[in-house]
Amino acid sequence: MKKPVYVAGFGTVTAAGLSAPQTIAAIRASLSAFEDVGFPEAGLSQIVARIPTHWRLRRNQGEWLVNMAARAIKEALGVDDPNVAAATALLITPPESFRNHPAFADVPARNFLAAVIDATGLRFHPASRAIDGGAAASIGLIERALALMEDAGIPQVLLGGVDSLVNDIDLSRLGQAGRLKGDENSQGLVPGEAAAFVRLVREPPRDTTVVAAIHGIGIAQETDSALSDRYSQGRAMLGALRDMVSGSGASEPDIHFVVSNGNGERYSGWEMMIAHSRFYRTRREILPIAYPAMTIGDVGAAGGALALMLAADSFVKDYAPGPTAVCEIASENGLRAAAMVRRRTRR
């Protein structure tokens, strides 16, 4: 990255809270939003992290994703001002296209961004886009956000995603692949749902003394994804981590903790174990790693922005283990991304 970008705000909706403060408090307290829910259409009972909501907001999957995204976007924007929204670009990652998410039967993928914007009641900058690629794509879009702010003169960008694995199609395919957590599989994922967005700006906000700055990112494509019949050797994540430090002004020994969207699957655990042993070569008593999925489950495309949010909040609220964090993000279809987030104090 040519220069850092700053996290000026964020918003989220998860099973642990309908706002960023609620969700972060639940994650910090190690609470669990898991519950055992029956899904007659899929013929199973499954542990999930499902957002409690009125049925009118969840009449179908498309409407539900749109409502989640709109709520998180408005929280991240911070003001209900049409002029501010019009000068803000929105970069959103919906569920990965290979999944044939049932939401797109209700709201076609080509219309999804417009539907989300309509639900906010605001109008955003014409440079707004919806990008396929899952959670890791959100990290990859940070450079695009910087380019929009520097080259197009856009004051700020809302970056994030929305997703739900709590639907019959995803539950069926994950169950058939033996990837769901249950009595016979302790190393499986817990399907969750969420929307998460961070507000990115070029300069540190003037009204804060401590800010979170994103200094470098790396992305790579894993050939042995969770959809293949092979376990990942961590090559793509290792490549993403190395690319991240190459232009960040920091190095591996400077890293104090990690925020990961690891979901508890055996596949994910093996990949991280191999990648970490190859990248984190400096001796440490411990490398703290935060796993939001322990509280809110696997939230799919929302996981990238949610990790950035948690890292940024830990700096601003002064509970981070140190001044430098890495967000390690994996998408189901193989995209891997890493972002270095650092604490900066305004003088």
| pLDDT reading at 145 higher than 70 | yes
Give the largest Cα separation in the chain, rounded. 59
* Residue 214 DSSP one-character state: E
Cα–Cα dist 129/116, whole Å: 11
Residue 16 pLDDT grade (very low, low, confident, very high; cuts 50, 70, 90): very high
| 5-201 against 215-345: fold identical | yes
Structure tokens at 133: 């690629």
pLDDT digits (tens, 9 = 90+) for 73-122: 999 999 999 999 999 999 999 999 999 999 999 999 999 999 999 999 99
pLDDT digits (tens, 9 = 90+) for 315-347: 999 999 999 999 999 999 999 999 999 999 876
Which residue stretches of 221-302 are H helix?
Answer: 235-246, 266-279, 293-296
Q: What residues contact 105, with CB distance under 8 A and at least 6 apart?
A: 61, 62
CA 329 vs CA 28, 168, 308: distances in Å: 19, 25, 10
Residue 193: CB atoms within 10 A of its CB come to 29
State residue 113 phi and psi, 5-degree precision. -60, -45
- Architecture of 5-201 per CATH? 3-Layer(aba) Sandwich (3.40)
Q: Stretch 303-326: mean pLDDT, rounded?
A: 97
Percentage of residues of the chain with pLDDT beyond 70: 98
State residue 199 phi and psi, 5-degree precision. -100, 120
Q: Which residues pair with 156 in a beta bridge?
A: 88, 201
| Domain extent listing, the chain | 5-201, 215-345
**What is the number of alpha carbons within 13 Å of residue 315 lying toward its C-beta?**
31
Q: What residues contact 187, with CB distance under 8 A and at least 6 apart?
A: 181, 264, 265, 266, 269
Mean pLDDT (the chain, rounded):
94
* Residue 97 DSSP one-character state: G
CATH of domain 215-345: 3.40.47.10
- Look up residue 1 and give its amino acid: M
Residue 207 pLDDT grade (very low, low, confident, very high; cuts 50, 70, 90): confident
3-state SS of 58-94 is HCCHHHHHHHHHHHHHHHHHCCCCHHHHHCEEEEEEC
Cα–Cα dist 257/260, whole Å: 10
Tokens 């450079």 identify what position?
143
DSSP-derived 3-state class of residue 147: helix
Instruction: Answer for the pair 115, 107: CB distance below 8 angstroms, yes or no.
Output: yes
Q: Looking at residue 175, what is its pLDDT?
A: 92
Global pTM exceeds 0.85: yes
Q: Which residues pair with 88 in a beta bridge?
A: 156
Tokens 């279809």 identify what position?
333
Q: Looking at residue 42, what is its pLDDT?
A: 58
Q: Stretch 133-147: mean pLDDT, rounded?
A: 97
Residue 58 pLDDT grade (very low, low, confident, very high; cuts 50, 70, 90): confident
Q: Stretch 288-295: mean pLDDT, rounded?
A: 98
Residue 41 pLDDT grade (very low, low, confident, very high; cuts 50, 70, 90): low
Q: Stretch 15-40: mean pLDDT, rounded?
A: 94
Instruction: Answer for the pair 156, 8: CB distance below 8 angstroms, yes or no.
Output: yes
Q: Looking at residue 345, what is its pLDDT?
A: 86
Nearest Cα to Cα of residue 163 among 241, 92, 73, 227: 92
Q: What residues contact 59, with CB distance under 8 A and at least 6 apart?
A: none
Residue 206 pLDDT grade (very low, low, confident, very high; cuts 50, 70, 90): confident
| pLDDT reading at 1 higher than 90 | no
pLDDT digits (tens, 9 = 90+) for 249-274: 789 999 999 999 999 999 999 999 99
Residue 40 pLDDT grade (very low, low, confident, very high; cuts 50, 70, 90): low
In the chain, which ranges are E strands? Answer: 5-13, 35-39, 44-48, 88-93, 129-130, 156-164, 193-201, 210-221, 257-260, 289-290, 324-330, 335-345
Query: What angle (nearest 5°) sits at the alpha carbon of residue 172, between those of residues 293 and 300?
Result: 30
Q: Looking at residue 43, what is its pLDDT?
A: 66
